[in-house]
Structure 1
């Protein structure tokens, strides 16, 4: 793959991260490696969406925070995803009402739009250059999916979001020049951005407020047996009054009590060569797009006129032999006119999925909080959960408890069989999508 793309920073500041995001990242400093013994009021593990969200939330309150990152800011899924702001959760509010009752559904619905609002507020407040664009589409490939999107519009309206518009096939073509879809919904509160640049902007704001951020500082051990949690890395340690664990799928086996609750899942993304005027012809309104399949595809324009296209999950987190081979067929079905297009970047990112498809936040002990398992809906949900974690650490538990009290059933088959069993289930739902039943 030819990575020499004119006008992009080749690998700077993220050499070894072969993504379009890394190549187009804003300048960022090399943060220090943690060395020696450090003290903080709060220590956060992970400088991705959740970790930086809670860290900035606390720094804005004047709380002394240290963030430890095993690689670089945004190195994991937070800096590799599709960059789409999709409101809500991986399960609809109607599904959550059926599972947990109307009171829980109302509480979850009341905060479901807050994550995207936090992103927009921070972009404006801190002047973060991340190509933020408003507007996003959910699109249907058959009549059954279209009915489901119409139901989604009605459910959102019942929870106070009345701005979603239902589009028939002809109206949708004003946004997506593809014959593949029968209709869709347009949500003005969705949107898209450059996720890595957003994270770099959050990190800079956090440091300006006095926060300390250490990169290449992988946590090797956590001791929460004493009055204050102690976090150990290869060259140093942090003692804090409170620890927040936000490693998600990249936490590994550092805290087995957490890793057993989630399953790593990889998702693949490609970006084309610059398309010139063709990019605007394919997506005239510059809205991002997500289809309604069980294993969905998503795509959007980039600020430099490429098409970014993703999907193709792999349960267990393994990368496919060829990202391009996994993604190109869907891209060509959507836009046949791109059959000969060059794909200049192709990469994988790993997110954490729960059996319920709802994020998990809670406590491992009175002084150790955690958040993980956003299940493919992490861009906006992580911002919300970072705020709720900040509230709980400051002593305000009401909104945090709504999520913390949700049940977290284990995967059938345990860690050994969860991936193959999930794959079998996905094959059934994929067949239903193809048959439109």
Structure 2
């Protein structure tokens, strides 16, 4: 099917049509001169809304293999496209863990049949157990875009150092969620006034900040590339700012939920707000939003963690941590009110640069890989908007600002209602 997209504003910072308001003609999956569109072509008028290269998320959990009751690749792709993401760098916390070449190849085979691109990450340690290092060179050759133990923070400093040294050989990227599990092994939420008033065990920000500092010191020693994934505290922001000022090749991401909620939102004991990292104070949230706008934080992650009802509909201390995120990441990010071109930079350009992926620029003759969005449009996120197989979203019933209108990728136009 061919399409004429009318009255769209292009956001492609390094592309030739950046900030141009124009019509886009997509013929046989490629961007073509709109003057060549026949009169019978299917049209979609965006009334000045925006179009950028398709977005990429780093850190979604796929559910396949091993947890298909939570999410399969089909529902993951549907949720991703509804949220504007045409590419996903999925974490390796599957069963079996994606810690070898066959696991990487399995993920890539799934990508071939899906309407989104799956970019597999390989585990740093066997079974994400934090003990024995994996064959990262083999996984890199097979197509792994980065290496991480995903939701399992790397605890052993020696393992982390060796991983950083290992990937230097091919300019690879190590991703780690900073958390010292020994500081708060039974923590349930951010340690502060709210945790005390609710009688819940706290997770001090120190547990994160110790590992941020450790990993930055190891990065300085090894000269490698590091993404500190889903930082959550103001002190972590400051440590990363200092590291960048020293010229370290450090990047940071923030979970979309931490841009929207704070620990005070847990007053109702909503288990869908039991997250990793935990929601922190209003001051921490403010620091995260500001850091994103000035570039200290590079990326926003959906932290998409589908979980079955049996894991979430429990008393708060017994519920697992994690929430859906793909469909609401853009709206949560939009809370910071970045300029539209900054949105495209954060969601489309920086993730690809971090993963050494080519940016699909919007220009004549290029394959169309596009996300359409309106930062000003308000909408109510309801249960009907959930495309995931799981239902654990804390955003249900909330009025959000900033809506994804649709995507075009792999020859398919998907429009959101």
Q: Is the TM value for this pair above 0.5?
A: no
TM-score (norm 2): 0.29
TM-score (norm 1): 0.28
**Which protein has greater RCO, CA pairs closer than 8 Å, 6+ apart?**
1
